[in-house]
Structure 1
Amino acid sequence: MCAGDHPLFIPTDPPPVTVELDSGWTLAASGRVADAGPQISAAGYLAAAPVWHRVSRMPATVLDALQQDGTYQNVYAGTNLRDAVPQDLYLQDWWYRTTFEAPAGHSTYRLDFPGINYRAEVWLNGGLVADSSQLVGMYVDHDVDITDHVVAGGSNVLAVKVVPERAMQDVDGVELADSWYDWINSRYLGVPGNSFVPDRNAGIFKPVYLSASGAVEIGAATVNTDVHLPEADSARLNVYVTVRNNSARPARGTMRAVISRAGKPDIGVEQTVTLGPGERRELTFDPGRFAALELDRPDLWWPYTLGDPALYDLKLEFWQRDHVIDSTSTRFGVRTFRQHRDSDERFPGSGGNFYLTVNGRDFPVRGAVYTPDLLFRDDPGREDATLAYTRDLGLNMLRLESKIPGERFFERADELGIPLMVGWMCCNQWEKWEQWDDEDRAVALDSLRSQAQMLRTHPSVAVWANGSDGLPPEPLRTQYRAVLRDLHWQNAVVDTVSAQAREDWDGIHMAGPYSWRAPGYWLAGRYPATRGATAEQGDNEHIPPYASLRQFIPPDALWPIGETWYFHAGSDPRNAVLTSAQRVINRRYGPSAGAEEFARKAQLAHYESTRAQFEAFAADGSAEHKMTMYWMLNSPWPSFFGHIFDWYLRPGGAYFGAKAGLRPLSMVFDAYAGADHSAADITVTNQSASDADGLTARVRVYDLQGRIREDRTVTDVAVRAGDALTVVSLPRVARDSPVFFVRCELIAANGAVVAENVYWQSQQRDDAGDPAADRPFETRQVSWADMTALNRMPRVALQLGAERNRHGGVTVFLRNPTGRIAFFERAEILAGSGGDEILPIRYSDNYVTVFPGETVEVYATVPAGGPEPGWVRVSGYNTAAQVVPIG
């Protein structure tokens, strides 16, 4: 018998290869193509314009691709998404086509489609590889064996026919894809029920990969880490990896796992395995058999707010006769998230509120809800900017309600130390369980299996939610849990993030609100929505800064507010026409004469409400404030739907209000929200990972003329990590000033100002009414603060300067030489003297107030590779806009 005939010998292949198929793609509507799969996937087929559209960037949904090539332009401007784009794109099937070279000499070739919406046929070189009954599900990762169809060492033609999600007239979607529900305005899109874009996000929306390997192939792998608590001085690792023999003969070899991190000795373990023909098996490396997997003093992965997000590398190799047959690599973090319930039973159900610990430390969540682009556009730069803003804000978790992006997003979250909650979406077919058929049930479980397998090894992924607004029924709930268990899911699991009036709720409630609330609402301690653990709350009606507004509302529709504005609002009838936003801004700050004035006043309202939401969850420490998730972090398109920053990545009032409320150390003024409203509590909050002492708290009150009416100082303040301490009780002062300013400064022992908060307060108080009458989608104030005196503030002429600093950014100097207050000053870094703000951008602070005789410094950081900063524009509530060059 020669060596090649040995039953445990497999011929040596070249090193394994995985490549992304991201170029050379074209797209066509199937109804405009006379040919079928055998012809379209054949060499020499002419995929010519205008029937075939060149896709300049893949992955891309249908409408994204058609916008790329100019078929439809500026679809986000005005009402173009409705009026300039056919609304029946989803009623057609679509062909994607490309060619690729396959490396020679390998035993196994596969195509991986981690994201096709919703069904697909795959044709290669004239032959059908998989049909639309096999490839079903937006969130199912489709792994297709093409070994029998590929031209190894030559050119191949791939054609994928995508069948979009369909819907019948009597239901809001019949397949487990994704809608935008109330995130876009179905009323003005002309689509009843759930909101969809014209193609229903059909297409290939995640990267396509070609892999070439030996006959033995390494599959999915993960590392579970169990940190020894409470000391956190050691950890046990369990490595799980699947291996598959794709040949018709037995195969024997060695699986090797090497764990490495710079500055640490490598850890290597291996085991011998024999696989039968076609056998697939999961291998385990555990500390019981491999003592090296018991780590002493490992570098832990921490959320960035608590420490360094340390990462380890895992390399897996399958060896035969001194040759690597296949190999894979992944990264992981050594950390342990655990879920708990407190003893607070004031909310429906029992068992108290949900909360998390990480590596044995309490982890109060201060988060927001993330969304991808409305067309699921693949844009790494936008993802990076969004995650950078997340850290700049001080948010410590993002929630993804379905709309799950590609793996790169999670890799970046791992590196940046940003924890994530991921799960299925509310309200559409994912929670219409009574409409499911057998295929839906299979797709649901396959979808969970695919997403959990991708997410499980990422240290950033802290929580999986099987449901959003609803509770999955049995037996589905048990089946979901079984999938997670089989995949060794090591993170928190909840079945719903909406409190149920039953014993099986998971300790998270969803009472909103989804409309604007005055600061006193958040800080009064009377409203259930402001306590416990909540998965979404914020304001569904956000007005972007005027510079953004002009980019998507045409000039003839900018004022008065009308149909074009509503087209970009949410879909719920209570926010579809921006009722609360208009009422709040008009009642609180006075009617506006145009869009620019309205947007300027809106930033004030968004700043004070958003800041108060996060302050409320800090001011009493974490005892009753386990989790708040702002609804939402960002916008899927230029819109008025709730966001902390808009689609153009322009930070507005909500952004800097949130940033102030999320400071590690700060001072919070409670807006006289206490029981009798005669005095305000001013509290030092510590949301950092370390105790703080030797602090000085100073509180000053100014009237509208800029005169100091109260000045109090408290020394030797000490606050433990995660705690808060009330330091001043401030009576109502300056009663002759209809609006006054409360200035709170926290000063370190060396005299440096750690944090400064400026509040504008009306003598006429806000009253949000009886908590029992609170309605999440409506702003129902009983009485309103009157801030209109701000419109009559004396004008101030600031002295401005700007220079490049040693950190590569820009320092802006705002000097007030007068005896008046310069209020709500916004600095913008420009490339040219008359241009737009450079975006994305990060500022140390903004919308600042400059008190008489003082100078405020604002530090700006522009990402590398962007436009060069050249000018600074500063405008304020009572100052004229000025533009100065950067020195």
Structure 2
Amino acid sequence: MRSRAVPLVAALALVFAVPDAVAQPTAQPTAPPDFTVTASPGSVSTVPDWRMQSSARATQGGNVISTTDYADAGWLTVPARSTVLAGLIANGRYPDVNHGENLKQVDRDDFAVPWWYRKVFQASPRPGVHTFLKLNGGVIARGEVWLNGTLVAGSDKVVGAYPTHEFDVTSLLRNGDNALAIRASSSDPQNDLVIHFIDWAQLPPDRNQGIFRDVQLAASGPVSLRFPRATADLPLPSLASAAVTVEVEARNNTGSAVTADVSGTIGLTPFTSSVSLAAHETRTVTFTQDVDRPQVWWPFQMGAQPLHTASLEATVGGVRSDVASTRFGIREVTSSLVQGARQFFVNGRPFPVRGGGWASDLFLRTDVRRIEDQLDLVRSMGMNTIRLEGKPENDELYDIADRLGIMLLTGWECCSKWEDYASFDAEDDRVAGESAESEARRVRNHPAMLGFLIGSDAAPGAGLEKTYLDALARADWDLPVISSAKASSSPRLGPPGMKMDGPYWWVPPNYWYAKRLGGAFGFASEIGPGPTVPELDELRKFLTPSDISKLTDYNAVQYHLSPSTTFNRFTFWGTALDNRYGRPGSPEQLVRKAQLANYETNRAQFEAFGRNSSDASKPATGVIYWMLNNAWPTMYWHLYDYYLATAGSYFGAKTALRPLHVQYSYDDRSLAVVNTGLADVPGLTVQATLFNLDGTVKADQTRPVSARGNGSVRVGTLPQPGGLSTTYFVRLLLKDASGRVVDRNVYWLSTKADTLDYGGSTWYHTPQSGYADLKGLDNLKPGQVSVTTSSSAAGTDVTLRNTGTSVAFFVRASVRRGVGGAEVLPTHWSDNYVTLWPGESVTLDARYRPSDLGGATPSVEVSGHNVARVVR
């Protein structure tokens, strides 16, 4: 993510350009209006879709294009939130841009000119009612806004991806048909404060030019209510009461003084206040109520997520003028430095961040169900935080995070105009401040918000820092503000308490335990082991047969890795795979061994940070896995793939993030129990069993333990018997007082250690000087597993039993749309990639939407490292 050497997508194959999409209309009439702006005070009308055209074809000015009699036949109809390329894709103008190298077919030159968006709508203006045009985010990269032949705002005002704007267009509205047109200029992330995908994926050829958030028309009377806010002051640590403060901006839209009554409720005693406003004056109206025994909002592992609504109304002369409302949670978030590391606190309790970096859709398309599916996978995995670096999402993600109890850490991106601080001029300073203020106002009410990073790889200088802090103050932002995700101090905020020392590419499991570079201490704002190759079924969705055949060529450029030359080959990831697991003889073998590598290092990363969270001298206060998801199908930097399939990377992390978890330490062979709940759990035992590859038990010990609430405890060290095979197994069982297994964890280890050459470290990698020997896994005797399934409307239960005489290693189950059908995605598994010794059994729960079966009967496929495929 740090690379600046990002080549442009080649402009190839003009046959795939869009002449029919941009054809100049003839005498055909424009499309009739298909939505109506409501004139009732308090109403909001969202533009449902647009007509879109290139300015290379629509050559007239906005004074013509924004008239109702302009003929826009031949223009494309695109969604309400649609970049230019997203609109072209939605209209089928290109082949599947996810598959192979099809994205190269898009001609970059098509986006060297501005594009027009146009909408005809109906309105019925009423005396005394004001109508406002609201841009809920900027127009990428700049916009001209026209209504009924008149310029509302020019490209000197509408600049950048994030500033919101509101324009009083009452005098321009007509009774009947009206025409709105917006001109979006070309985008260049190195020169514009917009959105850049850096080295996360191949870049969108339009660089996200266009409109990616809602455009709305809102009506109100003489007084408008804007930016409703609700906050809570909680006495810590009792949480026995809360002072809830509700505030809203009341704005006089007229040229005369006016008095408004502002009233509201948060579900308790109604409140009301009379406010006098001078001509065009805006004042903040504030109410405070005390709440006994409040329903407190918590991150999901720490408690429940009750949400409340603050509803407000303004009346003038007894007549409704406007309404506003906001959802909120009663909670407090703070942060401080602990032993130099950033520590967050929620409701007074330490909150150890276990998160992942979010990638928006490459074309900035909004699919609410897809976002909800992803956050459900995040919660199922046990991850508690998402970091949004420079890709603040639309409102739906924040609403879902509030409901699910997943914390969000937002801020600006690296490696683009956002951190080219030396190039900032007066306009850049203004747009940066407007961006910060707009985003802060938009997300500040969400209880899931954790903080705001005003820098990513570098803190801004004193002048820009002041611009950001003043903007956040205007937005009444009361959450932590951090100078940078890197250890880069700023003049006023000081040290961020975060580190960004890599890695971004492959490292072995023991790397995470060393207290240097990206090891488990402090707050690591973005680190991960790089390649996360999906299962073969998933690869076939976006790779050609030729692409798949070259997976074993580690020096070959892989288009579905990164545009960066640092990350576009498998290189030393493949070298480590060969040395540790044995050279794969085929792509199928590579994919199978990749799951092992993904699982073990991802598990170790989160386990190391979990274990060290209770270290008094150098606590591990937070870690952001790089990355959580993909903007476009790739083979690196994700915990679940683009199609929401969960493989070794996901289940390694899920194992480490279980709420009550027993684990092994790769550095000192210690065992630990990590508890993410707030309460201690006494009366537990840890059973540690060591097996040779042939199944021989070499050691078996049981120890008592009491799990520490919101922390970790050590439980001695792993036995070290003689006579271990070079590759051997460890099974850890955590049992409650009744003997019930509450956690199960299996390791495959080597008597030969991975060794690291720290002296050769770069910003993205620490090379290995020696490799663990896990090749014995290829010599396991065939395992036998019986499979029993039971399906209902809730999903499918899969019971696996080892009926053979050898270990059944790394056994995976998948639910299919009928025998031989595609995998049902997303599916939430209680566990997967499990290892069973003779006589052992485990039941895996699979939950999915029945509608995703497509009418087929669910079928289950099971296979393992040494287990042949079984179909049920």
- TM normalised by structure 2 equals 0.92
Matched, 1:663 2:664: no
Q: Structure 1 532/216 Cα, relative in aligned 2: closer, same or farther at 3 Å? A: same
Match of 1:193 in 2: none
Matched, 1:695 2:684: yes
Letter in 1 for 2:332: T
Deviations 1:301-346, CA, capped at 9 Å, x for gaps:
111110011211001100123322110111111111111111x2xx
* Contact in 2 for aligned 1:103/1:212 (Cα 8 Å): no
Match of 1:842 in 2: 828
Structure 1 CA distance, aligned partners of 2:395 and 2:476?
A: 19
Matched, 1:150 2:173: yes
Kindly state the Cα deviation for residue 375 of structure 1 after the two structures are TM-superposed. Answer: 0.7
Match of 1:90 in 2: 111
Kindly state the Cα deviation for residue 203 of structure 1 after the two structures are TM-superposed. Answer: 0.8
Matched, 1:249 2:249: no
Out of 861-870 and 118-127, give the one that drifted further: 861-870
Kindly state the Cα deviation for residue 565 of structure 1 after the two structures are TM-superposed. Answer: 5.7
Structure 2 CA distance, aligned partners of 1:319 and 1:832?
A: 60
Structure 2 CA distance, aligned partners of 1:697 and 1:103?
A: 72
Match of 1:372 in 2: 360
* Contact in 1 for aligned 2:489/2:496 (Cα 8 Å): no
Letter in 2 for 1:21: V
Match of 1:232 in 2: 239
Letter in 2 for 1:340: S
Superposed, 1:40-59 pairs within 5 Å as 40-49=65-74, 52-55=75-78, 57-59=79-81
Superposed, 1:716-735 pairs within 5 Å as 717-733=705-721, 735=723
Structure 2 CA distance, aligned partners of 1:361 and 1:837?
A: 41
2:871 to 877, 880, 883: 883
Match of 1:6 in 2: none
Does the residue aligned with 2:635 lie in a helix, a strand or coil?
Answer: coil
Structure 2 CA distance, aligned partners of 1:473 and 1:360?
A: 32
Match of 2:103 in 1: 81
Kindly state the Cα deviation for residue 653 of structure 1 after the two structures are TM-superposed. Answer: 0.6
Kindly state the Cα deviation for residue 564 of structure 1 after the two structures are TM-superposed. Answer: 8.2
Matched, 1:36 2:61: yes
Match of 1:769 in 2: 757
* Contact in 2 for aligned 1:611/1:661 (Cα 8 Å): yes
Does the residue aligned with 2:120 lie in a helix, a strand or coil?
Answer: strand
* Contact in 1 for aligned 2:54/2:113 (Cα 8 Å): yes
Matched, 1:584 2:576: yes
1:738 to 723, 726, 730: 726
* Contact in 1 for aligned 2:53/2:117 (Cα 8 Å): yes
Match of 1:26 in 2: 51
Does the residue aligned with 1:48 lie in a helix, a strand or coil?
Answer: coil
Q: Structure 1 283/582 Cα, relative in aligned 2: closer, same or farther at 3 Å? A: same
* Contact in 2 for aligned 1:78/1:564 (Cα 8 Å): no
Match of 1:453 in 2: 441
1:341 to 322, 337, 344: 337
Letter in 2 for 1:244: R
- TM normalised by structure 1 equals 0.90
Does the residue aligned with 1:446 lie in a helix, a strand or coil?
Answer: helix
Superposed, 1:171-186 pairs within 5 Å as 173-184=190-201
* Contact in 1 for aligned 2:42/2:324 (Cα 8 Å): no
Superposed, 1:194-205 pairs within 5 Å as 196-205=203-212
Match of 2:140 in 1: 117
Cα RMSD for the two superposed structures: 1.9
Match of 2:309 in 1: 313
Structure 2 CA distance, aligned partners of 1:303 and 1:199?
A: 38
Kindly state the Cα deviation for residue 376 of structure 1 after the two structures are TM-superposed. Answer: 0.7
Superposed, 1:101-500 pairs within 5 Å as 101-105=122-126, 107-115=129-137, 116-152=139-175, 154-166=176-188, 173-184=190-201, 196-260=203-267, 266-285=268-287, 287=288, 293-342=289-338, 344=339, 352-500=340-488
Matched, 1:605 2:597: yes
Out of 469-478 and 724-733, give the one that drifted further: 724-733
Kindly state the Cα deviation for residue 511 of structure 1 after the two structures are TM-superposed. Answer: 0.9
Kindly state the Cα deviation for residue 505 of structure 1 after the two structures are TM-superposed. Answer: 1.6
Aligned length: 824
Structure 1 CA distance, aligned partners of 2:630 and 2:97?
A: 15
* Contact in 1 for aligned 2:525/2:622 (Cα 8 Å): yes
* Contact in 1 for aligned 2:307/2:329 (Cα 8 Å): yes
* Contact in 2 for aligned 1:580/1:778 (Cα 8 Å): no
Does the residue aligned with 2:266 lie in a helix, a strand or coil?
Answer: strand
Provide runs of 4+ in structure 1 moved above 6 Å.
none
Kindly state the Cα deviation for residue 573 of structure 1 after the two structures are TM-superposed. Answer: 3.3
Structure 2 CA distance, aligned partners of 1:711 and 1:653?
A: 27
* Contact in 2 for aligned 1:74/1:80 (Cα 8 Å): yes
Structure 1 CA distance, aligned partners of 2:163 and 2:726?
A: 59
Matched, 1:819 2:805: yes
Out of 496-505 and 397-406, give the one that drifted further: 496-505
Q: Structure 1 358/21 Cα, relative in aligned 2: closer, same or farther at 3 Å? A: same
Letter in 2 for 1:95: W
Match of 1:630 in 2: 625
Q: Structure 1 282/420 Cα, relative in aligned 2: closer, same or farther at 3 Å? A: same
* Contact in 2 for aligned 1:735/1:763 (Cα 8 Å): no
Does the residue aligned with 1:267 lie in a helix, a strand or coil?
Answer: coil
* Contact in 2 for aligned 1:205/1:376 (Cα 8 Å): yes
Does the residue aligned with 1:88 lie in a helix, a strand or coil?
Answer: helix
Structure 1 CA distance, aligned partners of 2:322 and 2:724?
A: 79
1:783 to 746, 751, 770: 770
Kindly state the Cα deviation for residue 572 of structure 1 after the two structures are TM-superposed. Answer: 4.1
Structure 2 CA distance, aligned partners of 1:711 and 1:432?
A: 58
Structure 2 CA distance, aligned partners of 1:560 and 1:733?
A: 43
Match of 1:9 in 2: none
Kindly state the Cα deviation for residue 121 of structure 1 after the two structures are TM-superposed. Answer: 1.2
Letter in 1 for 2:117: Y
Matched, 1:618 2:644: no
Matched, 1:809 2:795: yes
Structure 2 CA distance, aligned partners of 1:282 and 1:368?
A: 37
Q: Structure 1 502/245 Cα, relative in aligned 2: closer, same or farther at 3 Å? A: closer
* Contact in 1 for aligned 2:503/2:518 (Cα 8 Å): no
Deviations 1:327-383, CA, capped at 9 Å, x for gaps:
0111111111111111x2xxxxxxx11101111111111111111111111111111
Kindly state the Cα deviation for residue 501 of structure 1 after the two structures are TM-superposed. Answer: 7.2
Q: Structure 1 763/312 Cα, relative in aligned 2: closer, same or farther at 3 Å? A: same
* Contact in 1 for aligned 2:243/2:290 (Cα 8 Å): yes
Deviations 1:194-225, CA, capped at 9 Å, x for gaps:
xx421010111112222122121111121222
Kindly state the Cα deviation for residue 14 of structure 1 after the two structures are TM-superposed. Answer: 3.6
* Contact in 2 for aligned 1:315/1:328 (Cα 8 Å): yes
Kindly state the Cα deviation for residue 443 of structure 1 after the two structures are TM-superposed. Answer: 0.4
Structure 2 CA distance, aligned partners of 1:157 and 1:540?
A: 49
Q: Structure 1 764/13 Cα, relative in aligned 2: closer, same or farther at 3 Å? A: closer
Q: Structure 1 305/815 Cα, relative in aligned 2: closer, same or farther at 3 Å? A: same
Structure 2 CA distance, aligned partners of 1:862 and 1:513?
A: 34
Does the residue aligned with 1:148 lie in a helix, a strand or coil?
Answer: helix
Does the residue aligned with 1:318 lie in a helix, a strand or coil?
Answer: strand
Kindly state the Cα deviation for residue 735 of structure 1 after the two structures are TM-superposed. Answer: 3.4
Structure 2 CA distance, aligned partners of 1:654 and 1:733?
A: 31
Deviations 1:461-511, CA, capped at 9 Å, x for gaps:
110111111010011112211221222211111111111378832111111
Structure 2 CA distance, aligned partners of 1:226 and 1:28?
A: 51
* Contact in 2 for aligned 1:809/1:861 (Cα 8 Å): yes
Q: What fraction of aligned residue pairs are identical, expressed as a percent?
A: 35
